[in-house]
C-alpha cells in the first residue's frame, strides 16, 4: 500500500484472494527461508494452509492426532527456517514443527505435548480462552500465557526420543532418496541407522555440519539417541562401487583392449576399439542391449563409454556383407577363407598366371597351381543362336567341379575387334559349371556375328 502526503491510501498492489481453512482462528505472516509466507489455521479441519502471496500458491498441510478442536493457534519460526505452530485446545497445548514427511503429512505426533494441568502448578485447568504467544530460541519452546491475572512462562523441552532427521547423500544411492526429510520416532534402545547397499561405501558423515568420527563403518552409520537437537541433518559422503564393463566379441573380429571385463572407477570412462577381420564388417554393437547404430557396417569403430555409474555389458558381432570391394558376399567369403587382403585381389600370389580375383571367380585355390581350359565349344546359328561354353578346371592337379563364384556371360560383336564386344542382353548365368564342364546359352540375335564368353563379378 502507498499513502499520499495526506495519509490517504492511493494504490494497492499484489492484491490476491486465497481460500482459508474451515473456521479460521489464526492468520499470521512469517519471514521464512527468505520468503514472506502467510500461515492460516482452522479449528474444524485440523489443517494448516501455507500461502505464498507473491507466487499465488496455497499448500495444505495435514495435521494428525489433534483430538480436540483448537481454540487458539500461534505461528512462529525457528532459526533454520522451520515454521513452528503452537496449538491450544481446552485440554492441552501442543508444539508442532511444520515439516512434511515423505507422505506430505506433518509429523503424526506433535513435537511437544503438555496437558493444561501440567502447566498449572495448582492443578486447576487453565481458562479455555486464555491469551498467549509462542516464541522459540531453537533450544527450547517457550510458552507464555496468562492465568488468574498473572503472566506465566513455561519452558517446554523436546522429547528426547523424537527427531526431525534430514538425510542427504553425496551421490545417488539405489533404493534411497538422495535427500529425505522426515520425523523419526524411536524407543530408548534404538538408534538411527543409515545403511547403503553392498558395494557402496560411507566415507564420511557430518551431523549438523560437524564431522563425525565414530559409529561409522564401510556400509552403515549409527546416529546415537543422545543428540539433544530436535532437528538433525546428516550429510553422508558415499563412494559408489567400481563399475564392471564386460564385453563379448564375436568371431571374425577383435577388440582393443581385449580383456573379457574391465573394472572402472565410478564416473570414469572407457574406450574400446572393435575391428573386423578382412572382408568382414561390424554387424551389431550393443551396450546393455541398446544398438549403437553408427557402428553397423564399419570395418572399425571406437566405442567411448563416459561417466560410468553402473555395470555395463557390450556385445559385438561381425558379418561378411555384400559390396566390399564390389564383390558379392560369397566372393568376399572366398577371399577371407583364403587369407587374401582386401587390397591384394589383383596379385598372382601363387605364380600360376591367375590373379587372386580370377581364382576367386573360378572358385579355385589361392595357393595351389591352378589350370583352366576355357573356350566357346560351338556356336549354332539358325532362327536362334546357341552358344556352348566349355570350362575344365584343375587345382593342384585335381579336377574342380564346384560352381563358379563369378557370373558366366556371353558378349557379342559385329567384328572380332576386342573393343567391339558388349554383353548380350539377358545372357548371364550364376553358379555355372556346377558338376559339369559345359554350359549353353540360346537367344535371338541378328546384330552380332562374333561371340565370346567371359567370367565376371
* CB proximity list for 327: less than 8 A, separation 6 or greater: 335, 360, 457
Is the pLDDT at 65 greater than 50? The verdict is: yes
Of the segments 12-21, 128-137, 254-263, which one has the largest average pLDDT value?
A: 254-263
Place of cell 572407457: 270
Of the segments 67-81, 142-156, 219-233, 369-383, which one has the largest average pLDDT value?
A: 369-383
Q: How far apart are CA 264 and CA 446, in angstroms?
A: 74
- The dihedral built from the CA positions of residue 244, 245, 247 and 253, taken in this order, carries a sign that is negative
Per-residue confidence at 62, pLDDT binned at 50, 70, 90? low
| pLDDT tens profile 322-335 | 999 999 999 999 99
Is the pLDDT at 200 greater than 70? The verdict is: yes
Half-sphere exposure (CA, 13 Å, Cβ side) for 403?
11
Q: How far apart are CA 399 and CA 392, in angstroms?
A: 8
Name which of 23-37, 111-125, 168-182, 292-306 the model is least confident about.
111-125
Name which of 126-130, 230-234, 336-340, 361-365 the model is least confident about.
126-130
Is the pLDDT at 4 greater than 60? The verdict is: no
Max CA-CA distance within the chain? 138
Q: How far apart are CA 138 and CA 77, in angstroms?
A: 9
Place of cell 492443578: 123
Q: How far apart are CA 78 and CA 363, in angstroms?
A: 90
Is the pLDDT at 138 greater than 60? The verdict is: no
Mean pLDDT (the chain, rounded) = 78
* E-state strands within 71-187: 72-77, 83-88, 92-97, 112-115, 132-136, 141-147, 150-156, 162-169, 179-185
Place of cell 509462542: 134
- The dihedral built from the CA positions of residue 85, 87, 93 and 94, taken in this order, carries a sign that is negative
Quick one: CA torsion of 197, 203, 207, 209, rounded to 10 degrees? -130
Mean pLDDT along residues 94-102: 63
| Other CB atoms within 10 Å distance of the CB of residue 13 | 6
Amino acid at each position: 500500500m502507498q499513502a499520499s502526503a495526506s495519509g490517504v491510501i492511493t494504490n494497492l498492489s499484489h492484491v490476491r484472494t486465497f481460500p482459508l481453512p474451515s473456521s479460521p482462528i489464526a492468520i499470521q505472516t512469517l519471514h521464512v527461508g527468505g520468503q514472506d509466507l502467510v500461515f492460516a489455521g482452522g479449528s474444524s479441519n485440523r489443517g494448516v494452509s501455507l500461502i505464498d502471496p507473491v507466487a499465488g500458491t496455497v499448500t495444505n498441510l495435514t495435521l494428525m492426532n489433534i483430538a480436540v478442536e483448537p481454540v487458539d493457534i500461534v505461528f512462529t519460526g525457528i532459526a533454520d527456517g522451520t515454521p513452528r505452530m503452537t496449538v491450544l485446545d481446552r485440554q492441552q497445548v501442543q508444539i508442532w514443527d511444520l515439516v512434511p514427511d515423505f507422505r506430505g503429512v506433518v509429523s503424526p505426533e506433535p513435537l511437544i505435548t503438555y496437558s493444561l494441568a501440567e502447566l498449572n502448578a495448582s492443578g486447576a485447568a487453565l481458562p479455555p480462552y486464555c491469551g498467549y504467544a509462542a516464541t522459540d530460541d531453537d533450544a527450547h519452546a517457550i510458552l507464555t500465557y496468562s492465568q488468574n491475572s498473572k503472566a506465566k512462562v513455561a519452558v517446554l523441552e523436546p522429547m528426547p526420543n523424537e527427531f526431525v532427521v534430514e538425510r542427504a547423500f553425496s551421490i545417488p544411492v539405489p533404493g534411497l532418496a538422495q535427500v529425505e526429510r522426515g520425523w523419526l520416532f524411536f524407543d530408548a534402545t534404538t538408534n538411527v541407522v543409515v545403511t547403503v547397499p553392498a558395494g557402496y561405501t560411507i566415507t564420511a558423515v557430518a551431523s549438523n555440519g560437524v564431522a563425525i568420527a565414530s559409529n561409522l563403518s564401510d556400509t552403515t552409520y549409527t546416529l546415537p539417541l543422545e543428540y539433544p537437537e530436535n532437528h538433525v541433518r546428516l550429510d553422508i559422503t558415499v563412494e559408489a562401487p567400481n563399475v564392471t564393463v564386460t564385453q563379448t566379441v564375436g568371431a571374425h573380429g577383435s577388440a582393443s583392449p581385449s580383456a573379457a571385463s574391465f573394472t572402472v572407477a565410478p564416473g570414469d570412462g572407457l574406450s574400446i576399439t572393435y575391428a573386423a577381420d578382412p572382408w568382414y564388417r561390424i554387424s551389431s554393437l550393443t551396450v546393455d542391449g541398446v544398438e549403437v547404430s553408427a557402428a553397423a557396417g564399419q570395418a572399425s569403430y571406437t566405442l567411448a563409454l563416459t561417466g560410468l555409474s553402473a555395470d555395463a555389458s557390450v556385445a559385438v558381432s561381425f558379418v561378411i556383407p555384400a559390396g566390399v570391394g564390389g564383390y558379392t558376399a560369397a566372393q568376399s567369403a572366398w577371399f577371407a577363407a583364403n587369407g587374401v587382403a582386401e587390397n591384394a585381389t589383383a596379385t598372382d600370389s601363387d605364380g600360376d598366371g591367375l590373379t587372386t580375383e580370377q581364382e576367386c571367380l573360378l572358385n579355385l585355390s589361392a595357393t595351389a597351381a591352378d589350370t583352366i581350359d576355357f573356350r566357346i565349344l560351338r556356336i549354332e546359328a539358325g532362327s536362334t543362336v546357341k552358344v556352348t561354353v566349355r570350362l575344365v578346371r584343375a587345382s593342384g592337379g585335381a579336377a574342380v567341379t564346384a560352381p563358379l563364384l563369378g557370373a558366366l556371360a556371353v558378349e557379342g560383336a559385329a567384328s572380332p575387334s576386342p573393343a567391339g564386344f558388349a554383353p548380350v542382353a539377358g545372357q548371364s548365368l550364376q553358379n555355372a559349371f556346377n558338376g559339369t564342364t559345359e554350359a549353353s546359352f540360346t537367344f535371338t540375335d541378328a546384330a552380332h556375328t562374333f561371340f565370346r564368353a567371359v567370367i565376371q563379378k
